Structure 1
Amino acid sequence: MTQPQRLQHGSKGQAVRQLQQRLNQAGANLFLDGDFGDETEKSVRAYQLKIGLVVDGVAGEKTLAALAGADCSKLLGNIHLVDGAKRLGVDLASIYAVNEVESAGAGFLSNGKPKILFERHQMHRLLSTPRHEGDDAAALKAHADQLAILHPNLVNVRPGGYAGDTAEHQRLASAKLIDALCAPEACSWGAFQIMGYHWQRLGYASLDDFTTRMAISEAEQFEAFVRFIEADPALHKALKAKKWAEFAKRYNGPAYARNLYDVKLERAYERHAGCGCGQKVAA
């Protein structure tokens, strides 16, 4: 699968020259040298601010698409990050860093559906979990185990079986035939990969309310992320204190160190704070 193009400070070549040309067409005055330096980054930030995108200074998939004339109505806007930082009482640069490192990039697929990842091990756990008085936990687990034998790609004690992109929606549709409630709960939704089973804890009226909102816009997906932070005092405290290892451990799980999430967060924070976008916005 081809990775989305991402041009940033230090990038060089014909793709950067083309970027500079498009920025000039949008009002910049750059020398077309194919070198993504300070002036090109400033122009990218100015363009992003002008059209309402997240002002991160990186010409990624969204910025390049916008320069090519794509519809940006569903995309996360800078105003959403500013409002989220105020609501959480954290530096704006901290929110920029989390958005850069923890989000899955674009929150929607090319066909317009929200990005999801179906987690078969969560499906097994949810099928095994009593929900009503009188539920027999042993019987539920036995049923889940039987389903795991019949449909190991959809119900399993081990994670995996991912198909990616639109095929994840096909996995979800198949899982709904097994259990229409557990299946969407067993998915992570949107750019910030919020699991469906959190819907009630995050204050949504129903699971359907949550999934419907995740399909509206990246702003709604970011709202779910803000609620997720608010619902976890320890996670919120770690973000406020910029304790990146603690934040990454709680957000990503025990594999955070292997994937260097804490290092990536710290570096992203320093870059955004250094550019002047890290001013405190808390009241």
Structure 2
Amino acid sequence: MRNGSTGQQVATLQRELNTAGFKLSVDGWFGDVTEAAVRAFQARVGLVVDGIAGPKTLATLITREKDKRLLGEKDLIAAASRLGIDIASIKAVNEVESSGRGFLPDGRPAILYERHKAFGLLGETGVPADAAIALAQRYPNLINEKRGGYAGGAAEWSRLRTALTLVAPVVAYGACSWGQYQIMGYHWLVLGYASIDEFVTAMHRSEADHLDAFARFIEADPALHKALKARKWADFARIYNGPAYKANAYDIKLARAYERYAGFELAKAA
């Protein structure tokens, strides 16, 4: 829920905010006053201050205490400084390019197992072509030249567990996108991790570690980093998301998110 949302869910949010000490009219309208209360609550508990009442904010409203694994405002401020960009830019990227939550409800990091990446990594790790083809023929949902076979959510972990019985960890783990920013495991070396195991351990630790991997990814690609610094959203989206970025309007979403966050920062400074 965000500014402009309406309905019973908003009314429930307003009641929860009132229980947390705010004084809102429970009218089911997410306007400026409700957004300000959401921002104030997020700042109080250490969440990312974006004014959006998503799953993390709603869960923390109930517990009144932030899960230590969750991303916080201070993490984004540090990442913005590290990358040489303003806070509005990192918040725009965090909103548009992240999956929203780096961990599943059961506590495991969010992953997506990519069978076509596993097939390619077999060759890169020295597995003979005929052996890779034989695996693909026998286990097409796990080893395949074509993408697909997705199960989604926690079921992706079942695919990964089975893959680990068939191929080396560097292939199985490397074929997964990990965490809040869907960083592929096979990038572990260029991102500066000592091993794929160190990368996977970091992905289990916290969303701040997911953000660290994302920052490493940006730093490892000078063109991507330059586009982000210059806020050339089309260039950034094309490099980060691939040539199909226009179909999902990633550049437009990034530009609009940036304008919203930049406007808030200006208002806060006034």
Shorter-chain TM-score: what band?
over 0.9
1:32 to 20, 26, 35: 26
The AA in structure 2 aligned to 1:118 is: Y
1:76 shift after superposition:
0.4
Identity rate, percent: 57
User: Does the aligned pair in 2 maintain the 1:118–1:162 contact within 8 Å?
Assistant: yes
| Counterpart in the other structure of 2:131 | 143
CA distance in 2, matches of 1:279, 1:220: 29
1:24 shift after superposition:
1.7
CA distance in 2, matches of 1:14, 1:30: 15
| Counterpart in the other structure of 2:181 | 192
2:177 is paired with a residue whose SS is strand
| Counterpart in the other structure of 2:247 | 258
1:114 is paired with a residue whose SS is coil
| Counterpart in the other structure of 2:213 | 224
What do the CA deviations read for 1:174-213 (whole angstroms, capped 9, x no partner)? 1111112200000000010000011111111111000011
User: Does the aligned pair in 2 maintain the 1:192–1:225 contact within 8 Å?
Assistant: yes
User: Does the aligned pair in 1 maintain the 2:89–2:258 contact within 8 Å?
Assistant: yes
1:141 shift after superposition:
2.3
1:204 is paired with a residue whose SS is coil
1:117 is paired with a residue whose SS is strand
The AA in structure 2 aligned to 1:101 is: V
1:128 to 115, 123, 129: 123
- Greater helix proportion: 2
| Counterpart in the other structure of 1:152 | 140
| Counterpart in the other structure of 2:197 | 208
CA distance in 2, matches of 1:189, 1:258: 23
1:27 shift after superposition:
2.2
Does 2:14 match 1:14?
no
1:80–1:71 Cα change, 3 Å = closer
1:278–1:174 Cα change, 3 Å = farther
Q: Higher relative contact order at CA 8 Å, sep ≥6: structure 1 or structure 2? A: 1
CA distance in 1, matches of 2:186, 2:52: 33
1:232–1:274 Cα change, 3 Å = same
CA distance in 2, matches of 1:67, 1:118: 32
User: Does the aligned pair in 2 maintain the 1:91–1:279 contact within 8 Å?
Assistant: no
What do the CA deviations read for 1:121-160 (whole angstroms, capped 9, x no partner)? 000100011x4xxx5xxx7222212211111100111111
1:71 shift after superposition:
5.1
| Counterpart in the other structure of 1:239 | 228
What do the CA deviations read for 1:68-114 (whole angstroms, capped 9, x no partner)? 11652110011000000000000111110111111111100111100
CA distance in 1, matches of 2:50, 2:129: 46
User: Does the aligned pair in 1 maintain the 2:47–2:66 contact within 8 Å?
Assistant: no
Alignment of 1:78-93 (within 5 A): 78-93=73-88
| Counterpart in the other structure of 2:50 | 56
| Counterpart in the other structure of 1:4 | none
1:279 shift after superposition:
9.0
User: Does the aligned pair in 2 maintain the 1:92–1:277 contact within 8 Å?
Assistant: no
2:102 is paired with a residue whose SS is coil
CA distance in 2, matches of 1:243, 1:278: 24
CA distance in 1, matches of 2:61, 2:264: 22
CA distance in 1, matches of 2:228, 2:35: 27
CA distance in 2, matches of 1:279, 1:229: 28
1:128 is paired with a residue whose SS is helix
The AA in structure 1 aligned to 2:202 is: R
1:260 shift after superposition:
1.1
CA distance in 2, matches of 1:102, 1:142: 38
What is the aligned residue count?
267
